[in-house]
Amino acid sequence: MTSTYVPTRPADRLPDEPRPVNRAATGGDRAFVLGSGAIGASVLVITSGIGLFLALQAVPTIARYGPTFFTQNEWAPDEGKVGIAGVLLGTFTVAVVAMAFAFPLALATALFISEYAPVRLKSFLVSMVDLMAAVPSIIYGLWGFLLLQPQASRLARWLHQYLGWLPFFHVDTDPNAAQWDQTEYTASAFVAGIAVAMMVLPMASSVMREVFSQAPAGEREGALALGSTRWGVIRSVVLPFGKGGIIGGTMLGLGRALGETIAVLLIISPSFDLKFRPLEIGTNTVSALIAGRFGEASPGQLRALLTAGFVLFLITLVINTLAAMVVARSRSGAGTDL
Distance from C-alpha of 282 to C-alpha of 172, rounded to nearest angstrom: 12
In tens, the pLDDT along 107-138 reads 999 999 999 999 889 999 999 999 998 899 99
Residue 338 lies in a domain: no
Q: Which residue type occupies 64?
A: R
In tens, the pLDDT along 166-194 reads 888 989 888 888 788 888 999 999 999 99
Residue 30 lies in a domain: no
Looking up residue 130, the CATH number of its domain turns out to be: 1.10.3720.10
Residue 1 lies in a domain: no
Distance from C-alpha of 173 to C-alpha of 184, rounded to nearest angstrom: 7
Contacts of 259 (CB under 8 A, 6+ apart): 287, 312, 316
Residue 230 lies in a domain: yes
Q: Average the pLDDT over 139-156 and give the result.
A: 93
Residue 59 lies in a domain: yes
Q: What is the DSSP string of 194-238?
A: HHHHHHHHHHHHHHHHHHHTTS-HHHHHHHHHTT--HHHHIIIII
22-26, 107-111, 238-242, range with the lowest pLDDT: 22-26
Q: What is the pTM of this model?
A: 0.85
Phi and psi angles of residue 281, each rounded to the nearest 5 degrees, phi first = -60, 145
Residue 9 lies in a domain: no
- pLDDT at 334 > cutoff 50: no
Residue 269 lies in a domain: yes
How many domains is the chain built from?
Answer: 1
Structural domain range at position 250: 46-329
Residue 14 lies in a domain: no
